[in-house]
Amino acid sequence: MSIRSKLVSGLLLRPSKFLYRIFRPSPRTLRLIIHPISSVASLLASPTLRATCEKEDFDGVPGVVFHPIKGSDSRRVLVYLHGGGYCWGSSKSTHRVGLSNFASISGMSIYCIEYRLAPENPYPAALEDAIKAWNSISRRFSESEIILAGDSAGGGLSLALMMSIRDNGARMPDASILFSPWTDLTCSSESYSTRAKSEPMFPKEAPKDHARNYVPGEIDASIPEISPVNGSFIGFPRMLILVGDREILLDDSRRVCDKASEDGVDVRMEIWPDMFHDWWLFGLLVPESRKCLQKATRWIYLNDE
């Protein structure tokens, strides 16, 4: 673990975890705090970013697209679903630095779906938006390879999306990348206990709060559309899972990897030593961020070698 990563973990993330446990902020409060701070951070980082960010529309679903300044690979595009517990987060604020870097490093344009957020728009709103936007993008790029990726809640949503489009006979992605995916909204994975202290970003209460906001009380949170770890992965494309070994969501990744492997998926999981949740989003603050995106890029282009 680099010195800068230790500083980010100790001076930035752990205080945030402590404050969350004390105040238990609502999703609206989290958005009011995190989104503006992220936007300012993105603005400060803009001289180092090598990608443009433009608004997009996917058949009525809002989105943004990141184009690498050096030009993009016309053979493939990446579709992205951001994290944030289904309650906050945005590709153009919280994820802007990370996705700009991913576009620049990979040489691909990244089409990001800005799905509706809970609790104002609970399940199945996010999945409905993801399906609608995916169908629009896949029609637009019918001749290109499409990679589907997502982090945290967006990683779980990516799995739920693939289950839905597979079952409905729509085009599947050619590959999928999951960064620290949240795949069990019953929050019952063992790492909620074994990694409760080592996870610096948020306490185990945070995912449980977000799950209650996303899943209406009368709906079973264990169904595959909400907790895709409980679904079938038969027919899925090759998959890369990247997760830190300090995360409370570590076992969400392990369980998906095991289940996907049992279902015949070409799946690869990498557990990054000493890394915390979504470390790759932190850009220059965390040296391991670039290394992670380089690793993901090499995996994407594996079949070209």
Residues with a known catalytic role:
152, 247, 277
CB under 8 Å to 289, separation ≥6 — which residues?
A: 98, 101, 279, 280, 281, 282, 283
Q: Which residue has the tokens 């069990």?
A: 184
Q: Which amino acid is at 79?
A: V
- Burial of 33 by CB count in 10 Å (0-12 exposed, 13-18 middle, 19+ buried)? middle
Rg (CA), the chain: 18
Q: What CA–CA distance (Å, rounded) separates 19 from 25?
A: 9
Helix axes 205-214 and 14-23, enclosed angle (nearest 10) = 60
182-208 burial, b for 16+ CB within 10 Å, e for fewer? bbbbebebebbeebeebbbbbbbebbe
At 94, give phi and psi (nearest 5°). Answer: -60, -30
